[in-house]
């Protein structure tokens, strides 16, 4: 019903409707897809932007809060805060001096500031300005103000241990407040105080810092938060410091509207639902009341995300939310933008698409109608002309070619096409005639090529026959010599004759292969097919192959059946095929195994040779059976050969009724297999005997590498010879050995590189054509490691082209010698290269020896000078110096330390320091030293169970940046004079006035007086000055020209030589030592006078030191 009316519609209408539908439908679909994609991408972009802003705000907020936390922790641990809260000088102490009643003191403090703006009129129980609250305030208030001015905190409060706010920088509502009282009990600061106080209680986990969230403070009536930290002075708790944090900095942080558009904003909501990051005062008033937002609820759960939500103003928004944790407090971070702003671009894009679609539909309708009209009108007029052409009337004239519209152009093209077809038919005829002539010429040339091929074959055949005659003579004469026809041969002669015989036999085999190949090619090879037992032939070839196998890394296996089988074959040719296959397998298998397999199945015997050698690429399998074809024909090929073995074997197997096939994979090995038909006919005994009497096609193996010539000749140098031909190696070895050189021989470049890495050589004779890698590549590898002088290279090759010689010198050859060569020329070039190398080596060795000697002399002089300087410096040091390693072992000590500890230097070095000092004191010293890096302490020197002395020790780390730094200990011995000095350390006001009257010149004169009188008293007892220094172990003794000297002690005997900073402890210790060790008789007035003067001067020294 529907198709019938459609047939009645004109073609023009159908075409117009179809074009219109095909044009408008894709546009409409694409517009809808674009609109949907644009809306989705716009919303996703808005979400991504909001989420990125929220994440950025989160990172900024966390960094800011952590910075405030670190700032508060660092400031609270400064000496400034510790001293401000000191119990003996700080605000707590000054507050207690105002009045005994804390409440009255607080009232006086607040009234003083309220009335006068300062604290100068505040009373003090001590009645002094020093220590009063005003004195403490003036000392610390500027420091707190400076800190607040450089931070985001608005105020700092100091709270004593009882909860009294004794200081406030802003003098706000909490100033002088009692946080434990009922009036402040519900304030956030009071809650933090009790929380931190409970944490500091015994058996509680202490909290370093506590924080209150942003809420409306009931006292100040504004939004703020607090950070409360304990303050400790020398590990003693002295109070608290509170930092007041307003939300202004966070509001400024959230106020940035970058990326949020005109209606977007970001804000913070705490756990109570309070928005505390508004800068606008109207919004800040609204923030004092909690709100319930879905985004904030999700963020409080620890979730990040985006959603469509309603904000605190009741507006529909696109929102992104995340959270930030700070000191057990979680804040919600919300970034939002109104939905109307986000969707405004969607509406604009939709209207634009509708407008463009309507405009496009109108334009397409007009264009489609015109196109349909232009296409349908000329069809009828062209139909008649095309019918005549389709009937093959190429000569009929096409009408309408004179028209200038599309119909005229189409008619013209038809006319041109008709003419072109006529011309092509004429060209095709001419071309066929030319091809026939070319075919005739090719046939004539083929006949000429066939004739030329026959001539070549005849030439090769004649040449092979001509070569056979002299080869037979060479082989016969060599074998006769080996059999002793000219007398017995020694071992070296026999070895070289075997090499000559092996080379001649290889050439004879090549001639045989060429003869067989041409006989097969000319169909003149005749084989004798008869019953042959497979196993005897296979076993004979297998045993000979095992005998020829010289590679110790290759194993030869045979998988033979227990029962023998008889096949139709020629036994000699079968042996030849097996020999070729096994020889190829042994040549191309460097490591692994070769297996010869014989199997019988379905009337045929299958013989296969499988190896694990280098394998054959799939692209080369098609050419390996072609004559003179080799897979590797380059100059770096690993094996020689003519390329006829597989071709001959293939032809022989085919003549015996079989087919030779190959399966191989590159790098995995190869498998050559052929089948021969079995027969039930018996094997002829005479035939088997005849086969056994035939000459074997295989040659007995000979050693290709010669042994070194043994003799008593002195070696002129070590020469490495590299050539893949054993006969060339033998010739070069003979020439060099007779001339007095030691030779090492190898047949490939890789082996040569290995030998060069293992031992040095004076010269390398290198052939160019080597297996695996060429001589040029070997030279390049050597020159990368050794220079022209280090290892001379003599290139020895049959390549005589100029470019080959140039390349040899380019890759690093020192000389180039062509084959064939004369013995004298070889020896002359070898001797010249080795002598040049030796001369250069001697010159460089002499130069190095001179440099080393000069450097050695210079270093020795510097070491001697350094040793003298060090000994002089140590001799001048009067203090006992001991260096210990991290394992508490003594690694250095000076002469004063040896005297102080009373042992030999050899006993002291390496000993444990705890051997000389109390272990507990040493461990405590090292523990404190690791924290401070330098300190002074007292250690008890142990010289026995009854003898112990106290030492004042200055300890320091030699290297503060090493985990294994040594520790230096500078020791001073403490005597009774220090205990007396310590007992008089507290002086009264009268003593202070007396200190002002003491002058340094009298103090220095007293030091000289004590030393002179003590020395005089010591000399009166019959002792010398050197004995005083040695026995007291206070002063150093030096050896100068075999005489003992006391240079340091001598400086203390004259006022002019007394050091600027004299060691007054050593002077007092010397006086004490002399008094204890010199007995003064009652009648000796002079000695008693010395003692009295010593006592007076010592008291003056102690008084001066105490005052200073």
Number of H helices, E strands in the chain: 33, 28
Q: Which of 782, 790, 887, 778 is nearest to 840 (CA)?
A: 790
Task: Indicate the residue among 974, 1001, 1028 that finishes a domain.
Answer: 974
Residue 606 reports pLDDT greater than 70: yes
* Residue 717 backbone dihedrals phi, psi, to 5 degrees: 160, 160
In a domain, 571, yes or no: yes
Pair (654, 568) in one structural domain:
yes
Distance between CA atoms of residues 976 and 987, nearest Å: 20
Contact 222, 67 (CB under 8 A): no
Q: What is the pLDDT of residue 505?
A: 66
Structure tokens at 1065: 């402890």
**Confidence label for 443 from pLDDT (cuts 50, 70 and 90):** confident
Token digits of residue 567? 């096949």
The reply to whether 992 and 919 lie within a common domain is no
Residue 2 pLDDT > 50: no
Dig out the tokens for 501 from the structure. Answer: 């015989």
pLDDT above 60 (res 689): no
More confident residue, 425 or 61: 61
Longest Cα pair distance anywhere in the chain, in angstroms?
171
Question: Can you give the pLDDT at residue 985?
Answer: 41
From CA 516, how far away is CA 513, in angstroms rounded?
5
Place of tokens 């040449």: 463
Q: Do 906 and 1045 sit in the same domain of this protein? A: no
Q: Examine residue 158 and state whether it is found in any structural domain, yes or no.
A: no
Q: Is position 456 within any domain?
A: no
Predicted TM-score (pTM) of this structure: 0.37
Task: Examine the fold and report which residue of 974, 1001, 1027 is the final residue of a domain before the chain moves on.
Answer: 974
Least confident piece of the model among 259-263, 1045-1049, 1050-1054 = 259-263
Q: Domain count of the chain?
A: 5
Judgement on whether residues 564 and 657 belong to the same structural domain of the protein: yes
Q: Which of 357-361, 472-476, 655-659, 929-933 has the highest mean pLDDT?
A: 655-659
Structure tokens given for 194: 């009790």
Residues 918 and 1010 in one domain: no
Residue 829 sits in the same domain as residue 937: no
Q: For residues 178 and 157, what is the distance between their CA atoms, to the nearest angstrom?
A: 12
Q: Give residue 538's domain range.
A: 526-693
Residue-level pLDDT at 273: 81
| 952 occurs within a structural domain | yes
- In the three-class reduction of DSSP (H, G, I as helix; E, B as strand; rest coil), residue 384 is classed as helix
Pairing of strands 236-245, 793-797: unpaired
Asked if residue 1052 and residue 940 are part of one domain, the reply reads no
Q: Is residue 329 part of a domain?
A: no
Is residue 762 assigned to a domain? yes
Q: Residue 721 above 90 pLDDT?
A: yes
β partners of residue 156: 243
pLDDT digits (tens, 9 = 90+) for 162-186: 889 989 988 888 888 998 888 888 8
User: Same structural domain for residues 595 and 622?
Assistant: yes
Residue finishing a domain among 928, 951, 974: 974
pLDDT over 60 (residue 668): yes
Summarize the confidence of residues 803-807 as an average pLDDT.
80
Q: Say what the pLDDT of residue 800 is.
A: 56
Give the per-residue pLDDT at 675. Answer: 92
Residue-wise pLDDT for 816-849, tens only, equals 887 666 667 788 889 889 988 888 878 887 888 8
Q: Is the pLDDT of residue 991 over 50?
A: no
**Taking all residues of the chain, what is their mean pLDDT, rounded to a whole number?**
78
CATH number of 952's domain: 3.30.450.20
pLDDT at 684 over 90: no
Asked whether residue 733 falls in the same domain as residue 604, the answer is no
- Residue 157 corresponds to which tokens in the numbers above? 């409060």
Same domain, 747 and 822: yes
DSSP state for residue 1025 in the 8-state scheme: H
Beta strand pairing call for 934-942 and 669-677 = unpaired
Give me 1017's structure tokens.
């008293």
Distance from C-alpha of 93 to C-alpha of 75, rounded to nearest angstrom: 21
Max mean pLDDT among 317-321, 548-552, 924-928 falls in 317-321
pLDDT recorded at residue 594: 92
> DSSP class of residue 889?
B
Q: Tokens 């507006």 correspond to what residue?
A: 315
d(CA 970, CA 955): 7
Q: Above pLDDT 70, what percent of the chain? A: 77
Claim to verify: residue 653 and residue 756 sit in the same structural domain? no
In a domain? residue 82? no
In this structure, is residue 101 part of a structural domain? no
Quote the tokens at residue 131: 């220590």
Place of tokens 């800068």: 279
- b/e map 377-403, b = 16+ CB within 10 Å: ebeeebeebeeebeeeeeeeebebbee
Structure tokens at 979: 């205990």
> What does the pLDDT read at residue 982?
42
Highest-scoring range by mean pLDDT, 195-204, 698-707, 749-758: 749-758
Please check whether residues 1039 and 1078 belong to one and the same domain. yes
Closest CA to 226 of 205, 204, 211: 211
């Amino acid at each position: 019903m529907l198709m019938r009316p459609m047939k009645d519609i004109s073609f023009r209408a159908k075409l117009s409707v179809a074009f219109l539908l095909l044009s408008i439908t894709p546009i409409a679909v694409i517009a809808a897809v674009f609109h949907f994609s644009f809306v989705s991408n716009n919303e996703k972009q808005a979400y991504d932007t909001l989420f990125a802003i929220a994440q950025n705000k989160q990172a900024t907020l966390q960094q800011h809060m952590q910075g405030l936390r670190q700032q508060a922790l660092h400031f609270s641990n400064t000496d400034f805060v510790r001293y401000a809260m000191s119990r003996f000088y700080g605000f707590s102490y000054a507050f207690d001096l105002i009045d005994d009643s804390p409440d009255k003191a607080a009232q006086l403090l607040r009234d003083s500031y309220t009335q006068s703006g300062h604290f100068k009129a505040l009373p003090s129980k001590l009645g002094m300005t020093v220590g009063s609250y005003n004195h403490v305030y003036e000392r610390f208030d500027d420091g707190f103000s400076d800190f607040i001015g450089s931070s985001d905190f608005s105020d700092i409060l100091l709270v004593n241990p009882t909860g009294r706010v004794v200081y406030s920088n802003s003098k706000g509502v909490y100033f002088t407040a009692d946080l434990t009282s009922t009036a402040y009990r519900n304030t956030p600061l009071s809650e933090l105080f009790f929380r931190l106080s409970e944490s500091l209680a015994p058996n509680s986990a202490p909290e370093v810092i506590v924080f209150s969230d942003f809420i409306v403070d009931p006292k100040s009536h504004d939004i703020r938060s607090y950070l409360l930290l304990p303050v400790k002075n020398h590990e003693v708790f002295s109070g608290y410091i509170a930092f007041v944090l307003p939300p202004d900095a966070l509001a400024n942080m959230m106020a940035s509207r970058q990326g949020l558009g005109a209606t977007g904003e970001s804000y913070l909501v705490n756990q109570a639902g309070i928005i505390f990051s508004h800068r606008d005062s109207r919004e800040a008033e609204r923030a004092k009341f909690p709100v319930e937002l879905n985004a904030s609820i999700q963020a409080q759960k620890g979730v990040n995300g985006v959603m469509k939500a309603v904000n605190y103003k009741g507006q529909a928004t696109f929102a992104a939310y995340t959270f930030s944790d700070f000191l057990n407090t979680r804040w919600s971070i919300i970034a939002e933008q109104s939905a109307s702003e986000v969707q405004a671009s969607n509406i604009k894009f939709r209207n634009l698409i509708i407008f463009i679609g309507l405009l496009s539909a109108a334009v397409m309708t007009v264009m489609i109608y015109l196109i349909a009209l232009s296409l349908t009108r000329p069809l009828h007029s062209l139909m008649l002309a095309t019918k005549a052409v389709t009937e093959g009337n190429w000569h009929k004239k096409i009408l309408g070619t004179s028209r200038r519209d599309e119909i005229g152009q189409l008619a013209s093209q038809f006319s041109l096409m008709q003419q072109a077809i006529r011309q092509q038919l004429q060209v095709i005829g001419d071309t066929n005639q030319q091809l026939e002539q070319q075919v005739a010429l090719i046939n004539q040339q083929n006949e000429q090529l066939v004739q030329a091929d026959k001539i070549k074959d005849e030439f090769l055949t004649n040449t092979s026959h001509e070569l056979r005659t002299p080869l037979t003579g060479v082989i016969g004469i060599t074998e006769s010599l080996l059999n002793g026809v000219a007398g017995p041969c020694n071992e070296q002669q026999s070895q070289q004759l075997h090499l000559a015989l092996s080379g001649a036999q290889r050439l004879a085999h090549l001639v045989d292969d060429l003869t067989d190949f041409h006989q097969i090619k000319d169909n003149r090879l005749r084989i004798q097919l008869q019953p042959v037992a497979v196993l005897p032939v296979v076993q004979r070839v297998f045993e000979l192959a095992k005998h020829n196998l010289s590679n110790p890394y290759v194993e030869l296996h045979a998988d033979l059946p227990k029962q023998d089988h008889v096949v139709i074959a020629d036994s000699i040719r079968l042996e030849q095929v097996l020999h070729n296959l096994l020889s190829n397998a042994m040549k191309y298998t460097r490591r692994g195994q070769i297996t010869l397999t014989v199997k019988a199945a379905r009337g045929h015997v299958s013989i296969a040779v499988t190896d694990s050698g280098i394998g054959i690429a799939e692209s080369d399998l098609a050419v390996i059976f072609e004559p003179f074809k080799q897979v590797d024909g380059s100059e770096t090929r690993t094996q020689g050969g003519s390329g006829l073995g597989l071709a001959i074997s293939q032809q022989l197997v085919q003549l015996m009724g079989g087919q030779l096939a190959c399966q191989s994979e590159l790098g995995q090995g190869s498998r050559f297999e052929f089948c021969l038909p079995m027969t039930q006919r018996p094997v002829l005994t005479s035939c088997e005997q005849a086969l056994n009497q035939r000459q074997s096609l295989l040659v007995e193996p000979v050693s290709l590498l010669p042994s070194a010539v043994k003799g008593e000749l002195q070696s002129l140098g070590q020469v490495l010879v590299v050539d893949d031909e054993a006969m060339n190696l033998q010739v070069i070895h003979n020439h060099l050995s007779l001339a007095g050189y030691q030779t090492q021989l190898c047949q490939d470049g890789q082996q040569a590189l290995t030998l060069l890495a293992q031992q040095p050589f004076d010269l390398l004779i290198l052939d160019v054509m080597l297996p695996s890698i060429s001589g040029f590549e070997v030279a390049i590898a050597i020159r990368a490691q050794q220079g022209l002088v280090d290892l001379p290279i003599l290139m020895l090759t049959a390549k005589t082209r100029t470019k080959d010689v140039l390349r040899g010198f380019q890759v690093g050859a020192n000389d180039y010698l062509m084959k064939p060569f004369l013995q004298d020329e070889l020896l002359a070039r070898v001797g010249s290269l080795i002598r040049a190398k030796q001369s250069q080596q001697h010159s460089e060795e002499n130069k190095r020896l001179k440099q080393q000697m000069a450097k050695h002399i210079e270093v020795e002089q510097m070491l001697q000078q350094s040793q003298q300087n060090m000994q002089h410096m140590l001799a001048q040091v009067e203090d006992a110096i001991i260096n210990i390693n991290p394992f508490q072992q003594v690694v250095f000590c000076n002469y004063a330390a040896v005297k102080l500890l009373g042992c030999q230097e050899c006993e002291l070095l390496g000993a444990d320091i705890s051997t000389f000092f109390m272990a507990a004191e040493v461990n405590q010293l090292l523990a404190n030293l690791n924290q401070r890096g330098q300190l002074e302490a007292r250690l008890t020197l142990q010289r026995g169970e009854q003898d112990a002395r106290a030492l004042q020790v200055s300890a320091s780390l030699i290297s503060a940046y090493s985990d294994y730094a040594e520790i230096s200990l500078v020791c001073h011995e403490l005597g009774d004079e220090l205990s007396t000095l310590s007992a008089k350390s507290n002086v009264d006001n009268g003593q202070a006035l007396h200190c002002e009257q003491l002058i340094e010149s009298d103090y220095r004169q007293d030091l000289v007086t004590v030393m002179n009188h003590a020395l005089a008293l010591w000399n009166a007892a019959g002792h010398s000055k050197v004995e005083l220094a040695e026995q007291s172990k206070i002063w150093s003794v030096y050896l100068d020209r075999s005489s003992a000297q006391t240079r340091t002690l001598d400086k203390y005997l004259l006022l002019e030589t007394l050091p600027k900073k004299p060691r007054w402890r050593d002077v007092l210790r010397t006086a004490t030592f002399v008094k204890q060790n010199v007995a003064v008789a009652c009648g000796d007035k002079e000695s008693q006078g010395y003692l009295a003067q010593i006592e007076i001067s010592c008291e003056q020294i102690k008084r001066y030191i105490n005052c200073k």
